[in-house]
Structure 1
């Protein structure tokens, strides 16, 4: 029989099911979270849908509070300090000179964008950890309330945020070198977040090793998740750009247009929830499937590993 993942033991009182002959894997074909080897894309997709159906009641508030709402607040702040409309007006009258207060306006914009993004990353890390905890606990029939999930997410957020920041820098550097290295880095590190939450160590090399060990399978799963996330995000971005046009280039300058612009951003932020949900559920279920290929594992063990 295949050994379990190093350092991992079954959850007390939870047996492994459906043993294959020597050299095979231990699995439970009815496990709500772990896709057994050989179940294929259909098995993986069924578990993604199942996790979303079981968890949408606590997951949607978590994603609203930690993903959509903070992102909307950051968008409003960026809109408030964006000097591009004023720059365009000044350049139209004198294209040879820099707009007035150019450097101070640029510094303010960068502080808001970079500082806001860093703070947003911490809040989002709370949500990713909380959502992962909800998915794992519900897979074994345990309760997963909103308050308990957010408390768990807060405990794990800083570590997850640190690794996510490092991953972002690596992927960005890869895209700066050439497009393909960035794409490869994004795929290779896609499971680093779940690896950190479940295993607590070495998330970058573990995620990369999972890609190398089952290249085609993981590429396919992550590509599907990425396509869903990009599709929903692009649609929401285009919708926001079009919906905010009637409010002018400086919508926050007057109360009437400001209210319309803020409401538009809030509505579009809510419409991005399917992208966040697809990313969360898809990557957690993909991670569980990769663990099943390494050795016996079930949802109860994974829930216990989260703590």
Structure 2
């Protein structure tokens, strides 16, 4: 029997799909390859210069301390470990904010009372004291009054109470002396009147008026400082304002006396020149508070540079003052009619004690009412005068609220942006 052939059985595992082969590098040739000169190793990529390094490379170049709004921010770089000192100063100068305009120096701004106004002098941004037109002027003054009415009212109360304390004793003595003088003349018409009482009444009247003028000058100067403090966002300090005003009270009084003689000369010539001179000298308190020299000539130059703007502002201030005087006169007439002081002064059948008491009570009451009305109106007119001065001066020379704050002693003189580069961070090790 022949053997049956047996086919060999393969024990190998089934073939799996192969992964694609990666390209192999060509095998080295047996032939010698000429050696090439070694190429220089590539240098590490240059690191972007920091702002401090760039400032050191170009002396005097300003170092930007923050990104300009609206521009893309460059990618941040790795900072080496360890404490770092921030670039720039604590109050960096922002070129973008300067380009948009506004008041320099870190925020001279009135606390917001609504949408920020957009008006301002030509070529400048919004300024809390300077305006290009009548509406802006009146709005700035009323805004200062709304924000700072408390310290402004305190100044007027101090001035009014001081004036009453000084004037009331003089008023009592003057009324008593006048009553005695009238009684002596009625009892003996042929006898010579006592001129001592007459001169005493006149002297005390002028002395009381002089003290009232001093107090009014002090309050007027202090109101200028309070108004600038409110406009710059500083804290109004009534005590500091009065101390600073006290040092300039007598210069203001001297210039007011000079202006008074000039206005008297205008009255002697004609009524119209006196009105014109009054309009010119309305800004005397502001000129003395901020400039203090060549006051008379400065008032004329400010008034004549833009006559229309000056007349509009001065007429408004005079209108408020006249309205207050008319209102006080009306109330004086009503009080006199109620107390019967007018009948007593004309010589009625009332006893002398009652007549003198009626006169004294009427005079005291009308004085208090006049002080209250005058103080309330002065709160507004003082700031109208301040903003009118700022407007008129800005038409003569470049001006900002920061400059006024420096001139009145509220802030240090404005400085240029810092040019010294900040401390450079430690160099990185490569």
Q: Who is 1:280 aligned against?
A: 382
**Partner in structure 2 of residue 267 of structure 1:** 369
Measure how far apart 1:16 and its partner are: 8.9
Query: Equivalents in 1 of 2:220, 2:278: separation in Å?
Result: 17
Q: For residue 6 of structure 1, what is the aligned residue in structure 2? A: none
- With over 3 angstroms needed to count, the CA separation of the structure-2 counterparts of 1:278 and 1:90, relative to structure 1, is farther
Q: Do residues 54 (structure 1) and 147 (structure 2) align?
A: yes
Question: Whole-Å Cα distance in 2 between the matches of residues 69 and 242 of structure 1?
Answer: 26
**Counterpart pick for 1:152 among 244, 252, 267:** 244
User: Are 1:167 and 2:259 counterparts?
Assistant: yes
Structure 2 residue aligned with 1:4: none
Q: How does 1:125-204 map to 2 (within 5 A)?
A: 125-204=217-296
Q: 1:17 to 1:119 in 2, by over 3 A?
A: farther
In structure 2, the gaps of 5 or more residues are 1-92, 103-120, 346-350, 410-430
What is the SS of the residue equivalent to 1:142?
coil
TM-score by length of 1: 0.80
| Bigger mean CA offset, 239-248 vs 144-153 | 239-248
The one of 118, 124, 130 aligned to 1:27: 124
Please name the residue that 2:157 is paired with: 64
Aligned length, in residue pairs: 285
1:289 aligned partner: 391
Contact in 2 for aligned 1:132/1:284 (Cα 8 Å): yes
* 1: CA distance, partners of 2:167 / 2:122: 47
Kindly tell me: are residues 91 and 158 of structure 1, through their superposed partners in 2, closer, same or farther at Cα, counting changes over 3 Å?
same
**Stretch moving more, 199-208 or 261-270:** 261-270
Shift in Å at residue 145 of structure 1? 1.9
Aligned-residue offset at 1:260: 6.5
The structure with the largest helix share of the pair is 1
- What is the deviation of 1:73? 4.4
CA contact (8 A) 1:193 1:203 kept: no
Change (3 A) 1:300 1:253: farther
Task: Supply the distance in 1 between the matched residues of 2:313 and 2:169 (Cα, whole angstroms).
Answer: 34
The Cα of 1:43 is off from its aligned counterpart by 0.6
Change (3 A) 1:243 1:152: same
**Structure 1 residue 179, shift from structure 2 partner:** 0.9
- Give the Å deviation of 1:210: 1.4
SS at match of 1:28: coil
* 1:96-135 alignment, distance < 5 Å: 100-101=193-194, 103-135=195-227
Largest Rg, 1 or 2 = 2
SS of 2:395's partner is helix
Shift of 1:305: 0.8
Structure 1 residues 26, 220: closer, same or farther in 2, change over 3 A? same
Across the aligned residues of Structure 1 and Structure 2, the Cα RMSD in angstroms comes to: 3.1
Q: 1:192 to 1:298 in 2, by over 3 A?
A: same
Residue 404 of structure 2 is aligned to residue 302 of structure 1: yes
Structure 1 unaligned blocks of 5 or more: 1-12
Q: State the shift of 1:178 in Å.
A: 1.8
**Larger RCO, structures 1/2 (Cα 8 Å, 6+ apart):** 1
Instruction: Classify the secondary structure of the residue corresponding to 2:247.
Output: helix
Provide the C-alpha distance between the structure 1 equivalents of 2:297 and 2:218, rounded to a whole number of angstroms: 23
Higher mean C-alpha deviation, range 245-254 or range 182-191: 245-254
- Offset from partner CA, 1:145-186 (integer Å, 9 cap, x none): 222221122122121122122222222232133211211111
> Which of 322, 334, 344 in structure 2 is aligned with 1:230?
322
In the TM superposition, residue 129 of structure 1 has moved relative to its aligned partner by: 1.0
Q: Is the Cα contact below 8 Å between 2:181 and 2:197 reproduced in 1? A: no
Please state how far the C-alpha of 1:288 moved relative to its aligned partner. Answer: 0.6
